[in-house]
Amino acid sequence: MKMDEQTYGLEAIMKGRVATYALLVRLYRREVDQELLDEMCEMRFPVGVGNTELDEGYRLFHAYLGTVWERTLTDLAVDYARVFLGNGMNAYSAAYPFESVHTSSKRLLMQDARDEILAIYRANDLSVPESWKVGEDHISLELEFMRILTERVLRALRDEGENDMMSLLRTQYNFLMDHLVSWTPMLFAEMMKFAQTDFYRALAHLTAGFLATDREFLEDLLDEDVLDESLLAEDVSDEGLSDEDVSDEGLSDEVLSDEGLLATETGVVDD
């Protein structure tokens, strides 16, 4: 694979995917802090990207962040707890962000989905640090897995490792379809039910739209009929995933990538 102008276009899309997955990881992992709030207030949200969910997510974020006041962090912390933690009374008191909850009949943690996820992490030379104290099928870890694989795609692209790149893209697509796409629509519906701020409603819309767009992007890229130079053409980037839309919005790697949620078996964060 020759590193020409078209290849740089694909590289920009991959950078945009990395930035978007990193932002989503951070937003689901824990409450918003002042640093992240300040960064998001500086973001330029795209308009009219062609996906209804993305457009609504961007619109709600823009509107909410335009009304930040002295109690915004408190409001968001309360809403994060309401949406994702609940009152602990029963399995239906929050939008619990674990795949097992949404794929097991009794909405329990640590079920088959968690075991499958762990096996996938290990098969890709990744492990969850001991500091992680909740289920490994938490949405932030699943999104982090997609981020890490996209970083690996970038490295393969730069090293002209086309076979490695396509293998990684297939792994991403299979994971997206078998896991994230299979249970997150239920999560997003519950987020809309419990959220009392437009911030977390926006997050539900944005994640739904991005995953749908990323699915279409990966399907186009993996289609046997387009595995040629055309997959590097400019029209591939018209998916709302461009580096210009996402990563050039004042979002620093330090804020977004955090310290990393998944590590290689050597204990070194894979980013």
The string of pLDDT tens digits covering residues 164-183 is 999 999 999 999 999 999 99
* Predicted pLDDT at 68: 97
Smallest CA-to-CA distance from 41 within 83, 1, 6, 72 is with 72
User: What is residue 138's predicted lDDT score, i.e. its pLDDT?
Assistant: 97
Joined tokens for residue 54: 């993305």
The DSSP annotation for 162-204 comes to HHHHHHHHHHHHHHIIIIIHHHHHHHHHHHHHH--SHHHHHHH
* Contacts of range 215-222, beta carbons closer than 8 Å, 24 or more positions apart: 215/173, 215/176, 215/177, 215/181, 217/13, 217/241, 218/169, 218/172, 218/173, 218/176, 219/173, 221/169, 222/166, 222/169, 222/170, 222/173
Measured from the Cβ of residue 261, the count of other Cβ atoms closer than 10 Å reads 26
Give the global pTM. 0.84
Cβ contacts of 3 within 8 Å, gap of 6 or more: 158, 160
- Where do the domains of the chain lie? 5-264
Nearest-10 Cα torsion for 150, 153, 159, 161: 170
Tell me which of 32-46, 47-61, 91-105, 141-155 is least confident: 91-105
Per-residue pLDDT, averaged over 146-158, amounts to: 95
pLDDT band at 107 (very low <50, low <70, confident <90, very high): confident
Residue scoring higher pLDDT (131 or 214): 214
User: Which element (helix H / strand E) includes 161?
Assistant: none
Please state the rounded mean pLDDT for residues 90-98: 88
Higher pLDDT, residue 41 or 252: 41
What is the average pLDDT across 138-167? 94
Cβ–Cβ < 8 Å for 45, 23: no
226: confidence class by pLDDT, cuts 50, 70, 90? very low
Q: Structurally, what CATH architecture does the domain formed by 5-264 represent?
A: Orthogonal Bundle (1.10)
Instruction: Specify the pLDDT at position 91.
Output: 73
**Residue 193: CB atoms within 10 Å:** 12
Is the pLDDT confidence value at 207 over 70? Answer: yes
Whether residue 241 is predicted with pLDDT greater than 50 in this model: the reply is: no
- Choice between 234 and 4, residue whose per-residue pLDDT is larger: 4
How far apart are alpha carbons 62 and 43 in whole angstroms? 9
Q: Which of 62-71, 124-133, 175-184 has the lowest mean pLDDT?
A: 124-133
CB 72 within 8 A of CB 41: no
- Residue 243 pLDDT > 50, yes or no? no
∠ CA 269-111-119, rounded to 5°:
40
pLDDT recorded at residue 94: 95
Nearest C-alpha neighbor of 150 from the set 133, 170, 172, 131: 172
Averaged over 40-46, what is the pLDDT?
95
The arithmetic mean of pLDDT across residues 7-22, rounded, is 92
